[in-house]
């Protein structure tokens, strides 16, 4: 089900439909450019003929439903400013003329579909508070005057399109439970009084726009299977009784809003995974897809053609 009130607020249009989720790039022992596509609602997997423009991992994803998905920055032998754009529904790839303001990886992506995408925090030897904003559909870039509340990497993004984006968890010298919230369209930042249930990095984010956001798994000295749920708009937090099928860090998250969220790949440290867990909305019951990723990898960027 698509939430028409949220679509109207986001500018995505009443014709928006739920189509597919994508896991782009990642790390198998070396960085890859592979982009796997999972069709909604049957969850069948194909692999795009054109992957990322270069091998990289730890990039930030952004999504503009019915229009395009984006994979920003990341790392291989160096850090990138590159932002690749995949047009929906053809999945043809172009690369933006204007990339990130700073070459970096290990950061969070948030989306206000129909309006803008955001790439928050990250690092390249130095940790950043920087939040870059890409206006849709022009893809022009600005940098917010107010960034994250602390310089951090390996946060995850959650989005309540038309309302707010969230950057959860991460590393600021030590792991943190912090959740920063950016109100749309003003981009003003607050920090939630209740953060994650445990301080951790390498978390995967999923969003059921208009209903709730999820922060799954991560690392706090060891990998965890925990899934925290933040109810919209109150931002109250609960923790699911059933977590992931395997404790892991650095997985990717995709969302079929109103239907299900998915956590794909990741690492049990050091084993890389093909596993894709699916959480049905609104029950949050978990199943594991029979067909996982095409390559066992961690640090993929998850984007979707769905809110």
CATH code for the domain in which residue 141 is found: 2.120.10.80
Average pLDDT, the chain: 94
Distances (CA, A) of 147 to 49, 61, 184, 202, 274: 36, 18, 14, 20, 34
Structural domain including 81 reads 4-305
Candidates 251, 140, 236, 160; CA nearest to 197 is: 236
In tens, the pLDDT along 211-224 reads 999 999 999 999 99
* pTM listed for this prediction: 0.94
Is 8's pLDDT higher than 80? no
* Interval 32-55 mean pLDDT: 98
φ and ψ at residue 161, rounded to 5 degrees: -55, 135
In DSSP terms, 287 is beta-bridged to 278
Q: How far apart are CA 235 and CA 205, in angstroms?
A: 15
197: which 2 tokens?
Answer: 């249930």
pLDDT digits (tens, 9 = 90+) for 69-86: 999 999 999 999 999 999
Stretch 97-122: mean pLDDT: 98
């Amino acid at each position: 089900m698509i939430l028409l009130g949220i679509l109207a607020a986001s500018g995505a249009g009443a014709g928006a439909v739920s189509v597919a989720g994508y896991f782009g790039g990642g790390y198998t022992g070396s960085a890859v450019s592979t982009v796997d596509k999972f069709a909604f609602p049957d969850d069948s997997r194909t692999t795009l003929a054109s992957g990322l423009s270069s091998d990289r991992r730890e990039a930030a994803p952004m999504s503009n439903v019915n229009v395009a998905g984006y994979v920003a920055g990341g790392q291989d032998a160096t850090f990138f400013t590159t932002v690749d754009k995949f047009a929906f529904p053809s999945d043809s790839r172009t690369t933006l003329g204007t990339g990130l303001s700073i070459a970096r990886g290990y950061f969070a992506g948030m989306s206000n579909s129909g309006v803008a995408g955001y790439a928050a925090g990250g690092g390249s030897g130095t940790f950043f508070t920087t939040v870059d904003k890409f206006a849709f559909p022009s893809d022009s870039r600005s940098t917010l005057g107010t960034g994250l509340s602390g310089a951090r990497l390996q946060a995850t993004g959650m989005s309540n399109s038309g309302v707010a984006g969230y950057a959860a968890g991460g590393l600021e010298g030590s792991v943190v439970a912090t959740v920063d919230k950016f109100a749309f369209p003003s981009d003003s930042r607050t920090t939630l009084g209740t953060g994650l249930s445990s301080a951790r990095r390498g978390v995967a984010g999923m969003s059921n726009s208009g209903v709730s956001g999820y922060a799954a798994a991560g690392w706090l000295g060891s990998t965890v299977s925990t899934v925290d749920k933040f109810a919209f708009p109150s931002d109250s937090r609960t923790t699911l009784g059933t977590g992931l099928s395997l404790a892991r860090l650095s997985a990717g998250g995709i969302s079929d809003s109103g239907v299900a969220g998915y956590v794909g790949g990741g690492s049990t440290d050091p084993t890389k995974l093909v596993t894709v867990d699916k959480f049905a909305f609104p029950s949050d019951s978990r199943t594991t897809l029979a067909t996982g990723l095409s390559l066992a990898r961690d640090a993929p960027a998850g984007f979707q053609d769905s809110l």
